[in-house]
Amino acid sequence: MADPNDLSSLPQADQDAIGTTLISLLAGFRERDAEKLVGIYTSDADWVNAFGSVKKAAMRSSSTFADSFLTTTSTQAQ
């Protein structure tokens, strides 16, 4: 069985796209920058955070995403 973590069999363009997406995702969370995060998801994506809170279609705009995620996370982190 192939290792699901081994991306080397994917075309280089796919590997690059995955890397770019992950870097954007990590930077967005680290910097609490909704603009970096909202472009990663489709507009109808549902968000489930680590605490099990579900936001339906939370990615429609960066302000909706910021309201759904960033303010909740910063409040929980305190």
Q: Write out pLDDT tens, residues 21-68.
A: 999 889 888 888 877 777 787 777 777 778 887 877 656 555 666 665
Residue 1 has pLDDT above 70, yes or no: no
pLDDT at 76 over 50: no
Residue 5 domain-assigned (yes or no): no
The residue segments making up the domain with residue 33 are 12-77
Alpha-carbon gap, residue 29 to 1, rounded angstroms: 33
Distance CA 26, CA 23 (A): 5
Residue 66 contacts residue 31 (beta carbons within 8 Å)? no
Q: Looking at the domain assignment, is residue 1 inside a domain? A: no
Say how many domains are in the chain: 1
Q: pTM of the prediction? A: 0.59
In this prediction, residue 16 carries a pLDDT of 95
Q: Is residue 7 situated within a structural domain?
A: no
3-state secondary structure of 47: strand
Measured distance CA(56)–CA(48) in Å, rounded: 9
